[in-house]
Amino acid sequence: MTRAELVIVGAGPAGLSAAIEAAKNGVKVLLIDENAKPGGQLFKQIHKFFGSKAHRAGVRGYVIGQQLLQETEELGIEVWLNSEVCGIEDSGHLLWVIRDGKESVQVRAEKLILSTGASENAVTFPGWNLPGVMGAGAAQTMINVHRVLPGKHIVMVGSGNVGVIVSYQLLQAGASVEAIVEAAPKIGGYGVHTAKVCRAGVPFYVGHTVKKAYGTDRVEAVDLIALDEKFRQIPGTEIHLACDTVCLATGLTPLTELAWLAGCKFDFIGALGGNIPMHNEKMQTSVPNVYIAGDIAGTEEASTAMEEGRLAGVNVACALGHCTAEHAKTRSDEIWENLNALRCGYFGQRRRDAKDLILKKGADLGI
Amino acid sequence: MGRIEKHPILGDLPERREVTIYLDGKPYPAQEGDMIAAALIANGVSTLRFTKNEHKPRSIFCGIGRCTDCVMIVDGKPNVRTCVTPVRDGMQIRTQEGTGSWEGGGAK
Amino acid sequence: MNAELKIKGAPSIEELRASPAFPSYEELRRGPIAVIECIEEIPCNPCEGACPFHAIRVGSPITNLPHLDVEKCVGCGRCVAACSGLCIYVKDFTYSETTCTISFPFEYLPLPEVGQEVEMVDRHGNVICKGTVRRVNNAKANDNTAVITAEYDKAYFEDVVNMKRLGI
Residue-wise pLDDT tens digits, B20-44: 999 999 999 999 999 999 999 999 9
Q: Which residues contact A238 (CB under 8 A, 6 or more apart)?
A: A211, A223, A224, A225
Residue-wise pLDDT for C56-94, tens only, equals 999 999 999 999 999 999 999 999 999 999 999 999 999
What's residue B108's pLDDT?
44
**Do both A72 and A26 map to the same domain?**
yes
B108 lies in a domain? no
What's residue B106's pLDDT?
44
**Do both A243 and A133 map to the same domain?**
yes
**Do both A259 and A112 map to the same domain?**
yes
Residue C167 to chain B, least CA–CA distance (Å) = 14
Nearest to residue A159, comparing CAs of A192, A186, A138, A198? Answer: A186
Residue-wise pLDDT for A275-319, tens only, equals 999 999 999 999 999 999 999 999 999 999 999 999 999 999 999
CA distances from residue A29 to A23, A102, C80 in whole angstroms, order as listed: 6, 23, 42
CA distances from residue B35 to B32, B64, B83, C135 in whole angstroms, order as listed: 9, 11, 6, 40
C70 lies in a domain? yes
Does residue A261 belong to the interface with chain B, where contact is any CB pair within 8 Å?
Answer: no
What's residue A346's pLDDT?
85
Residue A266 to chain C, least CA–CA distance (Å) = 29
**Do both A301 and A320 map to the same domain?**
yes
Q: List chains adjacent to chain A, taking adjacency as at least 3 C-beta pairs closer than 8 Å.
A: B, C
Domain count, chain C: 1
Q: How confident is the model at residue B103 (pLDDT cuts 50, 70, 90)?
A: confident
What's residue B107's pLDDT?
46
**Do both A257 and A108 map to the same domain?**
yes
Residue-wise pLDDT for A240-287, tens only, equals 999 999 999 999 999 999 999 999 999 999 999 999 999 999 999 999
* DSSP 3-state of A354: helix
Q: What is the mean pLDDT of residues A131-154?
A: 97
With beta carbons less than 8 A apart as the criterion, state whether C100 and C152 touch.
yes
Write the single-letter amino acid at A222.
V
B71 pLDDT exceeds 70? yes
Contacts of A151 in chain B (CB under 8 A): 1
Give the CATH number, domain containing residue A138: 3.50.50.60
Q: List chains adjacent to chain C, taking adjacency as at least 3 C-beta pairs closer than 8 Å.
A: A, B
C114 lies in a domain? yes
Contact across the interface for A199 and C42, Cβ inside 8 Å:
no
Mean pLDDT of chain B: 93
Residue-wise pLDDT for C12-51, tens only, equals 999 999 999 999 999 999 999 999 999 999 999 999 999 9
More confident residue, A346 or C162: C162
What's residue A320's pLDDT?
97
Q: What is the mean pLDDT of residues A167-191?
A: 97
Q: List C89's β-bridge partners, or say none.
A: C35
Which ipTM value was assigned to this complex?
0.97
What's residue A92's pLDDT?
93
Alpha-helical regions (H) of chain A: 13-24, 61-74, 136-144, 161-172, 191-198, 257-262, 302-319, 325-342, 345-364
Does residue C109 belong to the interface with chain B, where contact is any CB pair within 8 Å?
Answer: yes
Q: List A31's β-bridge partners, or say none.
A: A8, A79
Q: Which residues contact C90 (CB under 8 A, 6 or more apart)?
A: C32, C33, C34, C35, C75, C76, C77, C80, C102, C103
Residue B11 CA to residue B107 CA, distance in Å, equals 45
Q: How confident is the model at residue A54 (pLDDT cuts 50, 70, 90)?
A: confident
Domain that holds residue C14: 5-163
Q: How confident is the model at residue A345 (pLDDT cuts 50, 70, 90)?
A: confident
A177 pLDDT exceeds 70? yes
Contact across the interface for C109 and B7, Cβ inside 8 Å:
yes
Domain count, chain A: 2
What's residue C168's pLDDT?
84
Angle at C164 between CA C136 and CA C127, to 5 degrees: 130
Mean pLDDT of chain A: 96
Does residue B7 belong to the interface with chain C, where contact is any CB pair within 8 Å?
Answer: yes
With beta carbons less than 8 A apart as the criterion, state whether C43 and A341 touch.
yes
Give the CATH number, domain containing residue B31: 3.10.20.440
What's residue B101's pLDDT?
87
C55 lies in a domain? yes
Domain count, chain B: 1
Domain that holds residue B62: 6-97
**Do both A128 and A79 map to the same domain?**
no
Domain that holds residue A159: 122-248
Tell me the CB-side half-sphere exposure of residue B69, using CA atoms within 13 A.
21
What's residue A55's pLDDT?
86
The lowest-confidence range among A4-13, A48-57, A169-178, A202-211 is A48-57
Residue from B3, B5, B6, B9 to probe the interface with A (highest A Cβ count within 10 Å): B9
Does residue A217 belong to the interface with chain B, where contact is any CB pair within 8 Å?
Answer: yes
Domain boundary at A248, A281, A305, which? Answer: A248
Nearest to residue B69, comparing CAs of A42, A298, A56, A130? Answer: A130
Q: Which residues contact B106 (CB under 8 A, 6 or more apart)?
A: none
Does residue C59 belong to the interface with chain A, where contact is any CB pair within 8 Å?
Answer: no
Domain boundary at A215, A248, A281, which? Answer: A248
Strands (E), A42-160: 78-80, 83-89, 94-99, 103-114, 118-120, 133-135, 153-157
Q: List chains adjacent to chain B, taking adjacency as at least 3 C-beta pairs closer than 8 Å.
A: A, C
B1 lies in a domain? no
**Do both A87 and A59 map to the same domain?**
yes
B54 lies in a domain? yes
**Do both A186 and A240 map to the same domain?**
yes
Sequential DSSP letters for C6-55? HHHSS--HHHHHTSTTS--HHHHTSSSEEEE---S--SB-HHHHH-TT--
Q: How confident is the model at residue C1 (pLDDT cuts 50, 70, 90)?
A: confident
Q: What is the mean pLDDT of residues A326-347?
A: 94
Read off the pTM.
0.96
